[in-house]
Chains A and B, each alone.
Chain A
């Protein structure tokens, strides 16, 4: 079996908007000439701001949208060559987890029905008894209880609903799961639970994950490699640690500097971007980022930068004429200064984690307090 599970070549998705009866409309290049390879067993992240085309790309990758041009190959076979029947087999292997657990579950189905539906379609060999057992097993695997099977989605919190969505995606036994902002609708504490769950499930089921997200710290936590998108194009791609610590594209640099971190008194130099993301219909000659870029020179307004290799051994690639300058600026930036973390705070986190793991000795030391069993 090849090491590459999914491959996209020169993928394009154009939409024509504002079309009149006699006039041709504007062209929105939602995804413009994107090529990528996802390796078996890795978590691949696609990051970018709203309107950069990351969700469109996610849908193209599993043929929920048909590309205008280009090709997606899953396990060496081009998706466009699939017949409808083959496509339904593909759906068994590639599943999707949506962002909003409130609108992606049918409110009139019980959890049992929701999770057994993909089994009915893809696992016709199972008897209804076996299906039921499988539902119970899946519920437990995603951290829900067996009795939850009889309830309806509205009875669950956001985090629990996202777990139902994940169980549903796992049901058909997929090899690849694409998550479109799978944790962004969740609160911090619940978000951490779901991030850990996805991590565990990836190991347990030997899955490959593609995570689409806008939150850079979530992406760093979850993924092995990352592609940064801006206006339909991948501007930088590489291993997540390499890209985050040595950003080579000015957009990545600006994104990283804009993330507010939960640390007091550490001011990052903010690399502000000029203005806002241009309208998707605007045709920008040259590099699409040039009108917001502090490194832009004349060539950027004329010639679109080719993908170049920044770090060969890391397979770190970037589409910028002046990536060497950006590298220079990034290394001067305070961003790379290692943060010395407060020891007192670290000790407190350790205490909390010890208590979480059930090392109950901690509060007991107070003496007077009677210890109650943690359930």
Chain B
């Protein structure tokens, strides 16, 4: 009983929070990412979804401290992680956390593994970097980890080079490397995008099981709404550097409020049911130079009106569902138009 109640208290506190991240290309007048705030809870998966150029990957890189301060000007933003608080602009100093408490998986496993080292050594290095293990112990743990991510004959695979593995296997190695130190937060940037659909299904299953087991918080960055529906507990929808809608996964998929979210969902072709012409979002994502003032989606929004020249404020509804649109909640309009 006691254990159960203490874990419920724990899970009500975010393991990782970002407040008010703003950044721009050094010297540019427009923010690349604006007012980015998220909370990640232990055992939960927060999916950041959006199209290319919406700022989802660059936000993740900023949180990991992997951006060059001479190129990207991080103007504000605070990270709260495991009881520590530090500005995002100093995240690059958190080297002791990266690869240990904070881990990241990238999209392209071939380019993120070092081709000149055996995969097992690369995993062992992640251990010895942070913990005083002997190389034998590290090797033993690396092999255990390889087995845990479902690699057959892990002891033999330890001595193989990345080019000897298939795409799915390489991604499993990446996952092993990220999780070997039991991080409390995992950031995964499009981890299944480069994979075939049957392999993608295996990797999704693997991430889901490992995460459940470790009660780890996860930030998953993806453009694939199907993956989001399968993995997410919470969803953040980004458009052109802004969070347009966020909330629990059921709210986003069953009660989308922002026109962009509705547009995205309705432009997905379906695998079952009636085949009909796809709805689209007209136009293309504005470039950073041509960003509309006010609501950034206004240049493509079918609901656009004069008020959209003003910047919308995020409005919150029940269950932490919040939307940045002048027309939210849409139910008002719906009732009138039916």
Contact = CB atoms under 8 A, between A and B. Distances in A.
Contacts of B226: 259-262
A352 B197 contact: no
Contact of A366 (B270, B308, B333): B333
A372 B298 CA distance: 11
A309 interface: no
Interface in B169-199: 169, 196-199
7 shortest interchain CB distances as A-B pairs:
A260-B226, A355-B302, A221-B269, A192-B267, A189-B281, A262-B225, A187-B51
B227 A188 contact: no
16 contacts: A50-B196, A188-B225, A188-B267, A216-B197, A217-B268, A255-B198, A260-B200, A272-B201, A272-B205, A351-B334, A352-B263, A356-B282, A363-B303, A365-B336, A371-B306, A372-B305
A79 interface: no
B285 to A, nearest CB: 7
Contact of B205 (A157, A191, A270): A270
Nearest to B277: A196
B256 interface: yes
A202 interface: no
Contacts of A264: 229, 249-250, 253-254
Interface of A: 49-50, 157-160, 187-193, 195-196, 199, 214, 216-218, 220-221, 241, 244-245, 254-265, 270, 272-273, 276-277, 335, 338-339, 341-342, 344-345, 347-349, 351-356, 361-363, 365-366, 369-372, 374
B134 interface: no
Contact of B267 (A191, A345, A351, A370): A191
Contact of B338 (A191, A261, A276, A347): A347
A265 B252 CA distance: 12
Nearest to A240: B275
Contacts of B225: 188, 262
Nearest to B226: A260
B37 to A, nearest CB: 23
A195 B29 CA distance: 36
B93 interface: no
A342 B277 CA distance: 19
A345 B334 contact: no
A312 B164 CA distance: 45
A50 B194 CA distance: 10
A245 B275 CA distance: 13
Interface of B: 51-52, 166, 168-169, 196-202, 204-205, 223-230, 249-250, 253-256, 259, 262-273, 275, 277-282, 284-285, 302-308, 326-327, 330, 332-334, 336-338
A188 B200 contact: no
A370 B336 contact: no
Given A217-B268, A218-B269, A260 B199 contact: no
B277 A199 contact: yes
Contacts of B196: 49-50, 214, 277
A216 B269 CA distance: 9
A362 B266 contact: no
A220 to B, nearest CB: 6
Contacts of A258: 197-198, 200-201
Nearest to A335: B272
A190 to B, nearest CB: 7
Contact of B280 (A196, A270, A347): A196
B262 to A, nearest CB: 5
A349 B262 contact: yes
B253 A363 contact: no
Nearest to B253: A264
Given A50-B196, A187-B285, A258-B197, 7 more contacts: A217-B269, A259-B226, A263-B229, A351-B333, A361-B337, A365-B333, A369-B307
